[in-house]
Chains A and B, each alone.
Chain A
């Protein structure tokens, strides 16, 4: 391994490859900041450039830089505009956006940058040490376990049901799950619930729905409540720095989530999204009671958790890609295509046949994360200024980026109609005080939940997999605990407050 490290360092520190890291990170962050352009489309655009360079190490370093740069930058629009451009940063908006609204945009961006940096760096460290061993762990997961993992992910919804909104949160979750069934399911080759409308055949797009649920209602809300809109100016960057206490609070969160996120990222098909939801749910559940109430209202832990987890998961997803040749996500699938085009075949033999590629990529991740941090921190005051623009000038920008984001990926004008339609519905729901995040979580997880459940049913001719596979059972028990524990604790606390504490 030491030899490999040296080869990696040598390759990664060549002038060309250093430029590749910096260039990739720059492109990734800036494009990633725009809602609607996720890492997948940016990498797809960059591939011809990478391939024309001909050197597989350089190409992969560039593309990997673009990849985690985009994840890094992706949180910016979540935090500032409540417009998550990638599923992996949806959870970052839960607490990031409330922080920005409280005038702590600078602090939120700083926390996001530091959490991302730590998640990425610790992830790269884990990748370096465990990659060869982990490839076999990734294969322990069958469809049944993925189904159970999605259930655990859904339990993140419990985090939104804290304040007497259990019924509302559940309704929104179910609505999201239902919306995930529209279009051609993986089970049947027939369209479902499309009402004969051809544009619904491939289902609702994630970006369209995310914009409709979060960003558009935000803009409409400001229009409908002009008094709030006029105030503006709140985005003044009062406190960019995080205090010693805050640093102390988020350090354990970052530590836990780097590891948890990384291991979830290793599983092909789980990835950054699940990692961020789970990170959020777990941190909320283990937080002390008074802090729990802050989640969703601008808790720094609630921002640090998903931001760390999604970056660590991104790094984790390189394990199955490099050691097994299995892409765990759309983005890594595109990376795999690029590698094959460069005559590098990822798989068990990559580390033996082309160690310079393998190690150079890992080394470049360390450099890349450092570059991103150095690049981002000084820029934060300027980026956060977006919010000091009076709201009535900001609204057109939000609308523009929302509409563009929904259109650009698919070039399909119908997406715009769907966006506006759902956006109006979401605004109404928001006025009625329904939480919208559960809907989006249900929608994102719903498809995977159904597919894996159906596959398991088929493989086991029924639901026997639930008790025949211990890991499935274990995960389902964890999910049940995540849902039950908070309400049990709340109940106990209430009873104790009433002076009838039970027994102990």
Chain B
């Protein structure tokens, strides 16, 4: 049992987890791992938290993992947990840390002193494409319209997003404009501290378009409030078959905001293989399908070496763009 390595700190998280989810399911024939301790670099209720708890729920209910415990360790915008995992690597072989695209962005800007190479890469599990949306009454109906409006008056064609300048939503907007042959530096990006406020700004006409996550865009579009004018996927996504991709509209760019799991550096090979096996098997279970559908996640599975090359590619694309925008 590795679970109690951090028992003292984990106590509260585990207590909450025990309240929130029913106890571990009966282990049947196909158990792969006895227990996993999930390290969540942010507080309860955030995206990382939901990913870790949802994954743990699916793994235990499906009987792939006997027991899952959770620990929220916020601080430093996620950097504290990364530092902790690296510093206490030897006692954390039973721990998986959840993370996502910001680990790449924040390592590049130096906000995190470490980067993903300092950790053992387990697997990218889910993802979300990005989308550009406009209000339902907006005269803009496609990326062409948006680009035309931008050409006519760049200053009045502000694009909003839920992240800081240089954060994900900004980079997506810049990436799209860049690929469309416009000057990414000329884009007026307005940051909002939460998706809801950015949405209110879009509907009130303060901003012309909004750069946001695809699953959020689909919800808003289903509610009849926005039009999705471009998605950063390679092909159309079944959740919104009418939404055109950027590539269809002649803008050659794609982007995935992934979420995945990392382990402590120096994790023994056999353990790593065991975790990757458990996660791989998870995708075929109905329990995972329930959790995935409930949260509107898209399965984007990258294990081991694939994960590594995916991250390196993303780091390069984002790094180049950030240099261009003057963030590096």
Contacts and interface: CB of A to CB of B under 8 A. Distances in A.
Interface stretch (B67-75, B177-185, B244-252, B257-265): B67-75
A51 interface: yes
Interface stretch (A15-23, A63-71, A140-148, A484-492): A140-148
B80 interface: yes
A455 interface: yes
Given A138-B200, A341-B295, A349-B223, A410 B74 contact: yes
Contacts of B79: 198, 201
Interface string B181-225: 000000010111111110111011111000000000001101111
A199 B204 contact: no
Given A198-B80, A198-B83, A184 B224 contact: no
B139 interface: no
A141 B204 contact: yes
A199 B158 CA distance: 33
B155 interface: yes
A348 B294 contact: no
A189 B190 contact: no
Given A198-B75, A459-B190, A187 B164 contact: yes
Nearest to A461: B155
B196 A348 contact: no
A350 B222 CA distance: 11
Interface stretch (A39-47, A228-236, A241-249, A493-501): A39-47
A347 B225 contact: yes
- Chain B interface category by residue count: 35 or more
A324 interface: yes
B13 interface: yes
Contacts of A405: none
A188 B220 CA distance: 28
Given A48-B20, A268-B197, A347-B224, A201 B219 contact: no
Given A186-B193, A199-B76, A336-B196, A142 B109 contact: no
A232 B26 CA distance: 54
B12 interface: yes
B74 A188 contact: no
B75 A189 contact: no
B167 interface: yes
A477 B190 CA distance: 27
Contacts of B190: 143, 455, 458-459
A128 B184 CA distance: 46
A44 B70 CA distance: 15
Nearest to B71: A411
Contacts of A165: none
A201 B112 CA distance: 10
Interface in A413-469: 413-414, 451, 455, 458-459, 461
Contacts of B224: 347-349
Interface of B: 9, 12-13, 16, 19-21, 43-45, 71-77, 79-80, 83, 109, 111, 155, 158, 164-167, 188, 190-197, 199-201, 203-207, 219-220, 222-225, 294-296, 327
Interface of A: 40-41, 44-45, 47-49, 51, 138-143, 184-191, 198-199, 201-202, 268-269, 320, 324-328, 330, 332-334, 336, 340-341, 345-350, 407-414, 451, 455, 458-459, 461
